[in-house]
């Protein structure tokens, strides 16, 4: 944020700062926002006062005998450096009071209102004075208890309010995010807790122990991805529902709020209205070829966290800093590959396990990216040399799932066809995740920028390839959820049929929804949620809050 942009501090940010300085920074400087139940309920309570109604006469024109009641009024003052949209201004003539609506109950305090609320309504009262009105007190209305609390605008409260405004401007100028609250009950109901990660950051900063880490956000997302791959489908919107049609006939519909992202495979039509509805709600639309190649995406306005992208570009331009992150990505991938092999191999591939352990250690100390690439390649050869031994066969008597190593373009056997499809879907997943966090998905640290390639998504994907993509392959084949009829062969190239892709996506979504114990934080979350946690931790590394990136490695 530039200095000229921070002259006017919103009064609600003063409230947030008093409640939690880190929350104010996340909301105002980094532009973070996320709804939870409290936020939605607060919006509902505000509906009546969010609509601009009533007249506010100028102080000079005000009739002292005439009552004033004006809703949703925007006032500002360059001298105070504060701006506010006041819920309700009431009074008579030019003697008025701001009324601020709060969704909760009035606290049992001598002052009758929380300090954060008193500071906010004081700022509104000062703005009214600055605009020529007489204002001696504000009012906080607590909706749940239906109670009005008068807040006198004392000299002490005014001094506190102006000091908070200056602290907020200083915080933004310095561009340093305040540390998280430690073991605070405030975090439990904070809508930004999944973004802030207060306990996780405190642990990695050494401020608390592992026993102090709480999972203060849902283990799973309520919304789910929508995959469409039947050629000829069309996607439209009616009100708050998404309609999927084939030949004009309604095949399926779903609520917008139940959808987290949309993936379209091949020739599926989507209306402009539907795209706009998705983008308005922050739902990305991802496009794949008919064969499952991830081709691109549509997204709404770019995330407001410019600060994070500036740090990302700076880190990517620093060879030593890039290498430090790349080492962690690759070492995490090798260790998770080793774990998958150890857990699922019927025999004892001791030599391969020892070699993978050695390569992971070597990756942590690689002198440059070229050496790291070589170590990753050696680890992949060792791992995939034994990957086929984890497969228990598909159709009886059929050698469909013989596997003799990794092949990419094109996949030369069914196992490679499934692997390639899953890597493409996982790359899409991490592209969406990195955009959600505020990164530029095209600028990586290990993978080099190349036109259209989501290099950062591929970086973060490394440690999850064995845990999500390759684990899903084992499930599909060993549980016989996929068979030889789910593949097409053209020459030496193999690809999934439409039914085959459906089976793979079902298994993939089950895997993403699986709860897994985070090895560092000790709580259980879904794999999809883990991806976001890891991306946000990477962001904390870039801002300097935590010293180094910790890869997600299962035990």
pLDDT for the residue numbered 33: 81
pLDDT for the residue numbered 422: 95
Rounded Cα–Cα distance for residues 287 and 267 (Å) = 10
Strand-pairing partners, residue 516, are 525
Cα dist. 123→15, 325, 377 in Å? 10, 44, 61
pLDDT for the residue numbered 318: 94
pLDDT for the residue numbered 395: 53
- Below-70 pLDDT ranges, the chain: 1-6, 36-37, 39-40, 46-49, 302, 393-400, 452
Rounded Cα–Cα distance for residues 525 and 502 (Å) = 25
Q: 48 Cβ partners below 8 Å, 6+ apart?
A: 71
pLDDT for the residue numbered 450: 75
Rg (CA), the chain: 28
For residue 285, which of 306, 309, 259, 252 has the smallest C-alpha distance? 259
pLDDT for the residue numbered 399: 58
CA atoms within 13 A on the CB side of 413: 12
CA atoms within 13 A on the CB side of 451: 0
Q: 126 Cβ partners below 8 Å, 6+ apart?
A: 77, 80, 82, 135, 153, 158, 161, 162
pLDDT for the residue numbered 400: 65
Rounded Cα–Cα distance for residues 374 and 382 (Å) = 12
Cα dist. 192→179, 180, 186 in Å? 14, 12, 11
- CB 45, CB 39: distance < 8 Å: no
End-to-end CA distance of the chain: 42
pLDDT for the residue numbered 31: 84
Tokens of 384: 């995939």
> What's phi and psi for 241, nearest 5 deg?
-120, 145
> In which element (H, E) is residue 502 found?
helix 498-513
pTM metric for this prediction: 0.83
């Amino acid at each position: 944020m530039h200095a000229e942009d921070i002259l006017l501090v919103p009064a609600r940010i003063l409230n947030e700062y008093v409640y939690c300085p880190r929350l104010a920074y996340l909301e105002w400087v980094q532009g973070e926002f996320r709804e939870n139940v409290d936020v939605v309920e607060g919006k509902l309570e505000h509906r009546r006062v969010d609509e601009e109604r009533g007249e506010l006469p100028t102080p000079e024109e005000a009739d002292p005998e005439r009552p004033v009641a004006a809703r949703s009024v925007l006032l500002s003052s360059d001298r105070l450096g504060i701006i506010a949209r006041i819920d309700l201004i009431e009074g008579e003539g030019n003697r008025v009071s701001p009324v601020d609506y709060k969704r909760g109950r009035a606290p049992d305090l001598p002052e009758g209102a929380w300090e954060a609320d008193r500071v906010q309504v004081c700022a509104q009262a000062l703005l009214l004075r600055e605009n020529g009105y007489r204002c001696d007190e504000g009012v906080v209305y607590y909706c749940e208890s239906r109670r009005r609390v008068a807040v006198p605008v004392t000299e002490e409260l005014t001094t506190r309010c102006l000091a908070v405004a200056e602290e907020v401007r200083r915080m933004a100028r310095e561009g340093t995010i305040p540390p998280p609250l430690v073991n605070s009950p405030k975090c439990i109901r904070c809508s930004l807790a999944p973004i802030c990660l207060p306990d996780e950051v405190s642990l990695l900063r050494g401020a608390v122990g592992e026993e102090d880490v709480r999972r203060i956000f849902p283990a799973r997302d309520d919304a789910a991805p929508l995959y469409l791959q039947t050629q000829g489908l069309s996607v439209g919107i009616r009100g708050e529902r998404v309609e999927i049609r084939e030949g004009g006939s309604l095949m399926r519909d779903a609520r917008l709020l139940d959808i987290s992202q949309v993936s379209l495979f091949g020739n599926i039509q989507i209306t402009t209205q539907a795209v706009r509805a998705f983008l308005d709600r922050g739902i990305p639309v991802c496009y794949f070829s008919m064969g499952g190649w991830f081709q691109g995406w549509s997204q709404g306005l770019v995330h407001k966290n410019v600060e994070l992208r500036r740090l990302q570009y700076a880190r990517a331009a620093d060879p030593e800093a890039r290498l430090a992150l790349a080492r962690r990505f690759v070492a995490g991938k090798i260790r998770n590959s080793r774990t998958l092999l150890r857990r699922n191999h019927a025999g004892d591939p001791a030599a391969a396990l020892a070699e993978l352990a050695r390569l992971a250690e070597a990756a942590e100390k690689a002198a440059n990216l070229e050496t790291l690439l070589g170590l990753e390649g050696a680890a992949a050869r060792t791992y995939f040399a034994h990957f086929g031994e984890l497969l228990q066969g598909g159709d009886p008597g059929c050698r469909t799932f013989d596997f003799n190593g990794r092949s990419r373009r094109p996949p030369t056997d069914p196992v490679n066809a499934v692997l390639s499809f899953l890597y493409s879907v996982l790359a899409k997943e991490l592209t969406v995740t990195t955009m959600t966090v505020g990164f530029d998905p095209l600028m990586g640290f290990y993978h080099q920028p190349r036109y259209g390639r989501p290099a950062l998504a591929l970086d973060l994907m490394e440690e999850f390839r064995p845990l999500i993509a390759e684990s899903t392959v084992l499930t599909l084949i060993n549980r016989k959820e996929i068979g030889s009829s789910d593949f097409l062969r053209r020459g030496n190239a193999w690809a999934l049929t439409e039914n085959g892709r459906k089976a793979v996506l079902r298994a993939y979504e089950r895997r993403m929804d699986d709860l897994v114990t985070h090895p560092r934080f000790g709580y259980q979350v879904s794999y999809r949620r883990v991806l976001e946690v890891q991306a946000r931790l990477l962001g904390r590394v870039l801002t300097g809050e935590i010293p180094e990136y910790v890869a997600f490695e299962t035990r």
